Amino acid sequence: MRGGLRFAIKNLSGLALLGGLLSPCSAGPAANQIAPSSQSAPVTVTLQDALTRAQANEPQYHAALTEYGVAKEQRMQSRAALLPNLNYDAGFIYTEGNGTHSNTGRYIANNGLHEYISQGNAHQALSLQDVAEYRRASALEALAKAKSEIAARGLVVAVTGAYYGSVVAQRKYSTAQRAAGEAAHFFDITQKLERGGEIAHSDTIKAQLQLQQQQRALQDAQLEMERNRLELAVLIFPNFNENFTTVDDLENVEPLPSYQEVETAAGDKNPQLRVALASLKAANQEVAVAWNSFLPSLSLDYFYGIDANRFAVNGFDPATGSTFRNLGYSAAATLQLPIWNWGAGRSKVKSAELQRDQAKRELSFAQRKQVADLKAFYGEAQTARSELESLRQSADLAAESQRLTTLRYQAGEATVLEVVDSQNTLTTAQNAFGDGQVRFRVAVANLQTLTGKF
């Protein structure tokens, strides 16, 4: 009887070893794919595919792009205000006659009973305030562009976390399946040993408790896997779709650049610093706009066409019987000098100066924060990468420990508590290895929010 049960325990040991071979520590991408419910072939999504899809569908990212597009168009409109523009005016004015022999109009401001207007107007406004507003619009465009870059890099962090979170959730589900299978097999063995009188009933109770715990863990792992898949699906698909698979490429770990290289890239490509600089530039131009409102402005107009009592190139004077040309030109210049506006101009200057002072503080804070964030993000990425090999070794050692503990239990040298502990340790070590790989990928994505892609 003991020999037969020892053979069964050897099978348990073999199952544990097989579980270690099929664990996420050594499994390929196919081991982490979950069969979709749909009968159609699932879409295979890589991380780059997920990023491309998210850029096309994520609304907050597109809101930043829209803000940039609007700022760009507003700069174009401000530039147009500095350039001459051409308009065409056409009109007809009818005035009631006064009934006298001359039959002039009753409204003395009008030029006759009939007045026809058909002329082009070239208009040019010259104002330092318009120049300042154009410069402000240019600064706001640069600000919106930097914010769109921040949104793009933030989207990379979000998609990277969701993508690899889904990959590792599938790993953990596979690990929970293995652990539940081993617990069920071990519980079956303890029942047989108890019936043979070779172990106490307490061992069977412990094995049953372990089985129930692993079954609950399996349900939780399945729920977490589905939750992560839903989170990723919302990010990358325009229409809700769960019929996709992800690629487990977490084993492809690239080396980190040196801190000096990262520091140089952050100085050149940090969009958060560009936002602070553009905000200060826009605030300076806001002050210029407010001060220039005290200065005079000049507008020039040139008209060419017809403004006559007949809609014709040539006119006719019935008194003299002569003809003359209606087609001609006129020009006007207007100089506007601001005199008094009850302190509104001074108030605008003060308000703009307050905003400029705040922009200076934000720039100083952004410069300090860049140094701190760069050190923190680089340290996080460096630590996460250095721990990967240790986590891998821990998972391998935990698999070997479970195998040896099972053999010792077969020989009567280990207790059921040691077997259960080795099973839990293996599950914890494998899950920790997966979490460590995700931590490194997310840490790199966070670092690249400051440096750009490297």
pLDDT tens string 376-430: 999 999 999 999 999 999 999 999 999 999 888 877 888 989 999 999 999 999 9
- For the segment 188-210, the average pLDDT, to the nearest whole number, is 89
- For the segment 38-59, the average pLDDT, to the nearest whole number, is 89
Q: How confident is the model at residue 197 (pLDDT cuts 50, 70, 90)?
A: confident
Residues of the chain with CATH 2.20.200: 85-126+296-337
Q: Of how many residues is the chain composed? A: 454
**What's the confidence (pLDDT) of residue 408?**
87
Residues of the chain with CATH 1.20.1600.10: 2-32+42-83+128-295+343-451
Only one residue has tokens 């992560």, namely 228
**What's the confidence (pLDDT) of residue 215?**
96
Q: By mean pLDDT, which of 170-174, 208-212, 323-327, 431-435 is the weakest? A: 323-327
Average pLDDT over the chain, rounded to an integer: 88
Q: How confident is the model at residue 101 (pLDDT cuts 50, 70, 90)?
A: low
pLDDT at 88 over 70: yes
pLDDT tens string 309-361: 888 888 877 777 788 888 999 999 999 999 998 999 999 999 999 999 999 99
Nearest-angstrom CA–CA distance, 171 and 430: 9
**What's the confidence (pLDDT) of residue 111?**
80
**What's the confidence (pLDDT) of residue 23?**
36
Q: How confident is the model at residue 113 (pLDDT cuts 50, 70, 90)?
A: confident
Dihedral pair phi/psi, residue 296, rounded to 5°: -70, 160
**What's the confidence (pLDDT) of residue 265?**
93
Dihedral pair phi/psi, residue 212, rounded to 5°: -65, -40
Q: For the domain with range 2-32+42-83+128-295+343-451, which CATH number is right: 3.50.50.60, 1.20.1600.10, 3.20.20.210, 1.20.1250.20?
A: 1.20.1600.10
pLDDT tens string 225-261: 999 999 999 999 999 888 999 999 999 888 999 999 9
The three-point CA angle 390-396-397 to 5° equals 85
**What's the confidence (pLDDT) of residue 323?**
85
308 contacts 116 by C-beta, under 8 angstroms: yes
Nearest-angstrom CA–CA distance, 239 and 237: 5
- For the segment 436-449, the average pLDDT, to the nearest whole number, is 96
- DSSP character string of 131-188: HHHHHHHHHHHHHHHHHHHHHHHHHHHHHHHHHHHHHHHHHHHHHHHHHHHHHHHHHH
Nearest-angstrom CA–CA distance, 258 and 327: 76
- 125: CB partners within 8 A, 6+ apart: 81, 297, 298, 299, 300
**What's the confidence (pLDDT) of residue 100?**
76
> What percent of the chain has a predicted confidence (pLDDT) above 70?
91
- 254: CB partners within 8 A, 6+ apart: none
Nearest-angstrom CA–CA distance, 381 and 246: 23
pLDDT at 97 over 90: no
- 36: CB partners within 8 A, 6+ apart: 42, 242, 243, 244, 245
- CATH number for the domain whose boundaries are 85-126+296-337: 2.20.200
Give the orientation angle of helix 344-410 with respect to helix 271-292, to 10 degrees: 170
